[in-house]
Structure 1
Amino acid sequence: MTSHKLSHVTPRTAARLPVSLRLLLLCAALCAPGQAQTPTPMPEDDEVLSVRTDLITVPVFITDSRGRRVAGLQATDFGVRAGNRPVEISYFAAGTSRVALVFALDASGSAREHIGRQRAAALSLFSQFGKGSRVAVLAFADTQDFTLPF
């Protein structure tokens, strides 16, 4: 069985790419061959459940030249190719612009030097969400504390 793996692209990096390049990268990631996996032998008394799915979730953010999200896109606005052949998009769902998110920040002594980077990454990520989004901050070291509850 072949698995598909998408490369990690941060929202900030993705926002700088033209739409056509983002779609090309998306298609390349979908068509990339998966890594071979050796199955773990199962004891004979265990029941084995096999599942096959043809649904591949591909999260994308489309922005205009000013970095604002483009609303109202439909499946017909996208193209997916596999092996240089077009693939029908049989299911398309627009996501939500509102999220509730908890940032867990490591404030222990071993990570103190990284707190600034953690904060910058959290702010950068949160800036990608819509106006109705909510965030909470959970700082943890020896104990945990909601520094900023919802």
Structure 2
Amino acid sequence: MPVLLAALLFVAFLLPLPGYAQSSPPRFRIEASFIKVPVTVSDSHGRPIPDLGPRHFRVFDEGEERRIDNFVLDKSPVNVILLLDMSGSVRDEIEDIKDAAVSFSRIFDKEDRIAVMTFSDKVDLLQDWTNDGGKVRKSLKKAKAGYRTALFDALDHLGRNRFRGVAGKKVIIVLTDGVDNESQTTFEAVLPRLVQADVALYIVSRTRLVMPQIQREARVEFLNQVMKNILKDDEDFVELYFREKETAMQHLSESTGGRVLFPLKLSDLKDSYEELARELKSQYLLTFRPPLESEKRFRSIKVACSDPMAIVHHREQYAWSPPSARH
């Protein structure tokens, strides 16, 4: 596709080249005989739909319907890592981020916990697990700006190390523009890492905040016009590049049971974080038994709801292992 190729060449002038390295998929074990599937059900306005029961749902494993063994309103503790991309202009938005994080923490109960971490070329822990909103806000004062973005490395680190021994829901909410220019870990390695760790990834994307700023830069306008003249195409190559990044972020988050929010202005950050907090506190949880044998390491999940008004979000994969590896 000439346009896409041109867009990639165009972006090479704008951003450092990412240092991806190939890595083989990790090997893990399932921690239970049942597969747990948190399910978010909302209407077209994003409001949770209450009072649903197992009769309203069907679950499919690789297209084959499974019996729902258990179905409850999920009251288990929520464990959230707030992961903040400190590259680029985020350092100018830290006060808005502080307010959003504190509002987010106030929605949770005393059993729920939040940790705060930042990343640029490396990952820093600002606040270990706590249910104290004051500590969350105070920790953000320690945030330091960086210049490069190793998003996949950060997610891989969290999937490997930060949720060991953690009971309840495991969630990462990352604020980023999605432009990874430093990671050694690949997208293909991060997804199975998060799926196996049973971590839901939510992304508050800054792409639609930063894209207009980039498009207005003189060198970007010049290069954009050059590419249009060469290809005789009116496509905006910056916009095309960010659309590709948004698609990748959506695939990564939705596969784990999360989703992506796209605030259009800084003042929307608070609403985005509060929306996610309410969502995490109003999920259903269903379980089913995996098959005794499988040719696939990672198997697809589909949950259907009979309510015609329902919009359903759930993780799309789980990691299969033989019965002898389960406990």
TM-score by length of 2: 0.21
Higher relative contact order (CA 8 A, sep 6+): 2
Q: Write 1 or 2 for the structure with the bigger share of strand.
A: 2
TM-score by length of 1: 0.39
